């Protein structure tokens, strides 16, 4: 039986994650307060950040940026898109 959480991203009750997706206290907080759908929204945003800023996630500065953005996205006032970012049109391949 799936467990539900009051998701801080969606602002409503939704199906919770199956496991903590991040280590430590932050991972425990995510597990307790973020739904599967909310987490998937973060993953999509993180992918956009990695691509737009051309980040290498194993580099310490990139990891620090992604963790800070993750906390803003999930628990803060929300994350912003990189300056000049234009979302690709639906159904149209990226150049």
In a domain, 90, yes or no: no
For residue 93, is pLDDT > 60?
no
CA distance 93 to 47: 16
For residue 88, is pLDDT > 90?
no
Q: What's residue 48's pLDDT? A: 92
Count of domains in the chain? 1
Give the residue numbers spanning the domain of 19.
Answer: 4-75
Give the model confidence (pLDDT) of 26-54 as tens digits. Answer: 999 999 999 999 999 999 999 999 999 99
CA distance 63 to 65: 5
Do 65 and 55 meet the contact criterion of CB atoms below 8 Å apart? yes
CATH of the domain at 27: 1.10.3880.10
Q: Does the model's pTM come out above 0.85?
A: no
In a domain, 39, yes or no: yes
């Amino acid at each position: 039986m799936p467990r539900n959480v009051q998701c801080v991203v969606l602002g409503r009750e939704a199906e919770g994650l199956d496991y903590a997706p991040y280590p430590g206290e932050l991972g425990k907080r995510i597990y307790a307060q973020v739904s599967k759908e909310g987490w998937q929204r973060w993953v999509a945003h993180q992918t956009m950040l990695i691509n737009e800023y051309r980040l290498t996630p194993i580099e310490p500065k990139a990891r620090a940026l992604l963790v800070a953005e993750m906390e803003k996205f999930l628990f803060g006032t929300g994350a912003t898109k990189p300056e000049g970012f234009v979302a690709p049109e639906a159904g149209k391949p990226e150049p």
